[in-house]
Structure 1
């Protein structure tokens, strides 16, 4: 009799579990279609908590975001401690093995597998992600920006370590809307191949879906400063315009387009030969590699004969990614473009595409000459690799993304930022 009762109890528990699971699925489906029930507690499993956090849980992210000096100093000391730096490393093999079970991988890593609002579902985005190393950086970036209605093209440098290529391929295979670029290339810094990597992803994204509204290109050391909903709202406010750095070419950079360059091994070098003027007498503008542009801009890049002529002309220049997109943005009839007149110039500070701290623009607090406060991390090629002390300033900016972040240098900055964004994304549901 006692065994019979225990059997009935087990059956009732299983039935209760099934009913709760069905209730959660129904709730989530309602969320995806715009109905937000008051019992939204079912989303608590998507929050980042100390129970599933890494070694960084000892940091006080709230105090860091408030700019409290004691918490920031503690984070700085921890970030340079050998044992801590070793503890936050995740091997490429971990991602290869973990992604063999995609359902478990997405659950354990707390990926958002349903749209959090109707507004986001109706405004899908397209991302190009150009990567060559640091798989953990890439995976945490993907998780931070992932939404099932968006599309993600991943370009891994063909000269990357085989374990990097295998790990990223394994991760992308777990998502129907994340894919490896169809034509990967060997990327050389400041050479044409950096542009070609984005061009190949642009073509794949344009052909894979007609639904997405805006294109954003990223590298593996970027990280968002806004939730997906905030990004959507910011792009809606553009009303079809593009947002990217595009301004008059400074004299100090003109050598890049006046002289021809070629590759010698993995190094780009000048040939000493003068280049012909750009086609159609196009004014060449200065910018950077990262852009926020509408679908029509991408269509023009892929189909406009004027742009094709500009692309061919640019292939033997130095660092073409720092003028090509900026120049196209000022060409007549390109969707979302502006006139080439100097009054339409836009700096990287005014554009929303990317927040970057250059060492020569930094200055002490209160300095009127400084563009932004001093870097609280370290510098690589004159660019600030953000530390936890930069977060308080960073989240007050209007940019959608920031560069650079590095798990090897300061994982606390990434850890606190991803927790901040996830909490904000879930709190936006009402």
Structure 2
């Protein structure tokens, strides 16, 4: 049985003597961020959260916790030193996890420190990881991520990187290219999960495995009736001009096979059979070709495939099987327009304690108590430049929970 760690049990006790305690995150790993009371923060203590906020507004603090790209390039000259220094888990923590390997696609374009902390939090030697770095990314970012991935036999750079354009087809193509590589590199993984560099897990690998096992081969992703206000995205053709998506003024033909187009998002959890359908099913291939000149195809393609009869792990397209992002397990996002004060019946979730980027909450320490109570596997967005304490407290909490589960 999984050992469930509550925030109140977060601090070490006198009897704690795990042989794996050296893999715990300590003050030395976090620098000044370790001065915050993570246990109290995870319990929602207002004083501890206020102290963290005061720390976060000082430039010297952010400068002291920032890890430059050059660090990763230098330390990975000795891969063993990098693995040990950064405390990667280089062995499976349980037979259950070893027998249920996962496949990850991670799309990145900047912020190497965010990416590396995400990678460290989800790394397990039995899993496989494909990393897609945007072709437009800074050369130093590419070099740093290449150096990191080269230190692990089960992590690789995508074989066909693309130049990602917001709301355009290349964002989907990046994941498809990683899907292809992951499908070909290993026949043993059970589920595919796609992430971006500013995601972070809310669960340990064992908890992720058990959550996926409970799906019994089904997929989990947002898939709902398309709102009228979004139908324009697939009724007209679009093209990329000078790195931006632009309308052509031409009307599109209806989707192939009279498929009902469903609303969803770019991030999902899918069984191996679903990935096989994306790569091999002739119906899916026709849908993909049709979608290539639409606006924001990532927000309907996966959701539509999920409702196609015969696709492994899918659901029937009847409205009764619609699934919202809050009910799916893949990813938790706080949209600004759905936030509200505590007790508000109109609010979907509490107000953001960080800041907003494109109407999405970049989480702060005050969001952590709420986050760890949710059933989602991952949350977006986290950013060291916004709140390094939030990331440190969450990663420390998850690492200790993972180690305690093998006691």
TM-score, length basis structure 2? 0.95
3-state SS, counterpart of residue 129 of structure 1: strand
Instruction: Give me the whole-angstrom Cα distance separating, in 1, the residues matched to 2:306 and 2:344.
Output: 33
Name the counterpart of 2:280: 303
Residue from 217, 224, 231 that aligns with 1:254: 231
Instruction: Give me the whole-angstrom Cα distance separating, in 1, the residues matched to 2:18 and 2:60.
Output: 37
Paired residues, number: 393
Residue from 201, 208, 211 that aligns with 2:188: 211
Name the counterpart of 2:388: 411
Q: Work out whether 1:316 is the aligned partner of 2:293.
A: yes
Instruction: Give me the whole-angstrom Cα distance separating, in 2, the residues matched to 1:282 and 1:300.
Output: 16
Instruction: Give me the whole-angstrom Cα distance separating, in 2, the residues matched to 1:299 and 1:47.
Output: 38
Name the counterpart of 2:352: 375
The CA deviation at 1:40 is 7.3
The CA deviation at 1:279 is 0.3
Instruction: Give me the whole-angstrom Cα distance separating, in 1, the residues matched to 2:222 and 2:18.
Output: 42
Q: Work out whether 1:87 is the aligned partner of 2:64.
A: yes
Instruction: Give me the whole-angstrom Cα distance separating, in 2, the residues matched to 1:382 and 1:102.
Output: 39
Q: Work out whether 1:291 is the aligned partner of 2:250.
A: no
Instruction: Give me the whole-angstrom Cα distance separating, in 2, the residues matched to 1:295 and 1:172.
Output: 23
How do residues 143-182 of structure 1 correspond to structure 2 at under 5 angstroms? 143-182=120-159
Name the counterpart of 1:126: 103
Instruction: Give me the whole-angstrom Cα distance separating, in 2, the residues matched to 1:57 and 1:418.
Output: 12
Name the counterpart of 1:41: 18
- Unpaired stretches in structure 1, ≥5 consecutive residues: 1-38
1:37-92 CA-to-partner distances (Å, cap 9, x unmatched) read: xx973211111112333220111100100100011011111111111111111111
- Unpaired stretches in structure 2, ≥5 consecutive residues: 1-15
Instruction: Give me the whole-angstrom Cα distance separating, in 1, the residues matched to 2:143 and 2:224.
Output: 40
Q: Work out whether 1:353 is the aligned partner of 2:330.
A: yes
Residue from 135, 144, 158 that aligns with 2:112: 135
3-state SS, counterpart of residue 260 of structure 1: strand
The CA deviation at 1:386 is 0.1
Instruction: Give me the whole-angstrom Cα distance separating, in 1, the residues matched to 2:228 and 2:381.
Output: 27
1:310-366 CA-to-partner distances (Å, cap 9, x unmatched) read: 000000000000000000000000000001110000000000000000001000001
The CA deviation at 1:369 is 1.1
Residue from 191, 200, 204 that aligns with 1:227: 204
Residue from 353, 359, 363 that aligns with 1:386: 363
Greater fraction helix: 1
Residue from 386, 392, 401 that aligns with 1:424: 401
Name the counterpart of 2:34: 57
Name the counterpart of 2:174: 197
* Deviation >4 Å, runs of 4+: none
Name the counterpart of 1:3: none
The CA deviation at 1:113 is 0.1
Instruction: Give me the whole-angstrom Cα distance separating, in 1, the residues matched to 2:17 and 2:258.
Output: 58
3-state SS, counterpart of residue 261 of structure 1: strand
Q: Is the 8 A contact 2:30 2:65 kept in 1?
A: no
Query: For the aligned residues, what is the CA RMSD?
Result: 1.1
TM-score, length basis structure 1? 0.90
How do residues 261-276 of structure 1 correspond to structure 2 at under 5 angstroms? 261-276=238-253
3-state SS, counterpart of residue 54 of structure 1: helix
3-state SS, counterpart of residue 407 of structure 1: coil
1:389-420 CA-to-partner distances (Å, cap 9, x unmatched) read: 00000000000000000001111110000000
Q: Which has the larger radius of gyration?
A: 1
